[in-house]
Structure 1
Amino acid sequence: MLQPLVVGLGRSGSGLHLRTLIRLARRTADAGGPLVALPAVGCDPRAGALRVPGAPGEVTVVSTLDQALDQVDPAATVAHVCTPPRLRHEVVARLAGHGVRRLVVEKPLAASAAELDALVRLREQEGLDLAVVAHWTSSRLAGRLRRLIRGGRLGPLRRITVDQHKPRFLRSLTTDGHPTALDVEIPHSLGLALDLAGPAELRAARCWDLRLADRALPRLGGAHVELAHRSGVSTLLRSDLGAPVRQRSVVCEFEGGTATAHFPLSEDDDHAQLVVSPFGHGTACAPDGEGEAGHHVFRDDALTDFLECAYRNFASGTAGAANFPLACAATRLLCAAREHCAAVPQAPAGSR
């Protein structure tokens, strides 16, 4: 078994990684094939003030990385790096210096192209087995979209539109890990768009302020990113962080129809939906045959599936090779979008 070390216990580290790892440890142990060794070790400077998931004995929380490393065996550890992007290289370098070679790193990989280059060099020099969190691209829903694209039943793919909307007022006021709206939801959809339609160049990007009653938070209100893929597909990514409702949807427009994918909105539910609509046909329910026209609903606990796959691959030595190039490509596009937004006037408060 491999023991988790989670560095950074914010929303991602505690609310997603730790919670999912505990669930995965319990489930695999109950099934007779334990995969995750508990207690997981969590590291955050705010350790004394944090509430973390899990029963007694399932999580140990400390305030420094040195304290955390004293409690784990580097050869049997998987480090989850859930710090803000600007700290990723520093943390990975310290972990590597202590002999940790298996890492799960949150996206985006870095806050700048130079930092990404440094991380790529570090990975190669230290022989790190590094998996980048990509539960959107590894989800069952994304798998169905890929099969629709490859199968050609709706003709060639022409356009992708991704909408990721949610009200994010309180977190934007109380945390500083995401400097712009580009860093909140867009990294999910960038990787997915590249996975579905292939390499791309940035066509346009814009951010706008998050406006509250007494202030405006610069560039945190939302973002639009436009991509031109070498395959001829165009992509529009939209994220409104002042929206009154939540939405996580992907519309793939084909020559002969559309496929609308709805990702689960939060950890409160783990079901995805896919609506396949060939032109000239209805959308009567078709529970069998995912390529058929209709409205399909199915379980898709993507983060749990992603982490289980990563841990099994870590055990066999094959974890990070598959998705690292895609994560690097998505990070470079994100860096280009940041630079573009910094160089042009901000957009007015956004419409979708």
Structure 2
Amino acid sequence: MGQKVLWLFVVWSCFFLFKGQSVKAGCPIVMTPSRVVVKYGDPLTVNCSSTIDQVESLGWESNVKGTPATNAHHVLLNIEKVDEWELESECFFNFKNGSQCIEQLPIIIYKPPDSVSIVADKPMEELKEYTLQCIVSNVGPLYKMTVIWYKGDTKIEQQKLAYTAGPPPYNQTQSSFIKLTLDKHDHGRKIVCEAKFDFEEIGFNIPPVRSAPLDLQVLYRPIFEETKVEMIEVPPNGEIILNCTAQGNPMPNYFWQVPQASEQAVGHQPVLRLQGASTGTYNCTASNSQGFSTKQFILTDAPRDYTVLAAVVGVPAALGVLLLLSGPFIVTKEGTFSLGKGSQVI
């Protein structure tokens, strides 16, 4: 039974060979390049030659522009402009024994997007989820296109463009979507989406196309760099500066509450300059459309310099003690006489 199957295979192979069919594994054809990735609208040139001498003629068949069979060692497929998405071309050899060998050229036609752009709500509020859309316009083929999202220099998402059966995947517009929840640290950062063809597996690299950067505008309530209560000692001259500057979007407004003893005009600025500052609690509130934050300053008297106080008070006290110990004395022109018993100072 096995010998019969083998005999039938040999008969059918010979039949197809003499009918002009080819077994590709046996075709002595060399195409340069062996596969083509060509941009839509660009020219295309491929050389076809044989590795043996028993060739009577060779040529190209193509649904766009072929090359008639010619008696030569090689033949060119030369298409001035690739403007058909479905391009099929094959090189054929006619051997002197009447047989024919055919090899099809692998062709991929691509078209970079006309534009890549981001659509997003602006501005955005912190801690809320938003959907960003990256529109890739007039690109093909869709099934070879990947969209990569970046926040700053960090890749945050990668998606293949969706394609379902229906319209041809050429010269189509498609979108990639991403969901983001932003915070105050994202304010001012840039979002970019990049459209890139996936041809690396066949050794062909096409530069990606990037969108213009989207500057994130995130609304967030005022935040102080230092949130804890500040304890401040008032210097002897009473001059002091309280800094209540906060970060927020929109720009914060400021309101001060000061002790009743203070006679300073505080205004609505983030920095309060005091002359002759009163001790007590000073509250600063920074507010905008997203909320408010309050910072507290507690002013206390600076500790006294007890070394100076001791010098001022101690000297008179020491003299008084000395008088008590030595007793009263009288100064005359003859000398000094102590009123103590049996004493005289000359």
* Interval containing the TM-score (normalised by the shorter chain): under 0.3
Q: Which has the higher helix share?
A: 1
TM-score, length of structure 1 as denominator length: 0.21
Answer 1 or 2: which has greater strand percent. 2
Q: TM-score w.r.t. structure 2 length?
A: 0.21
Q: Which has the larger radius of gyration?
A: 2
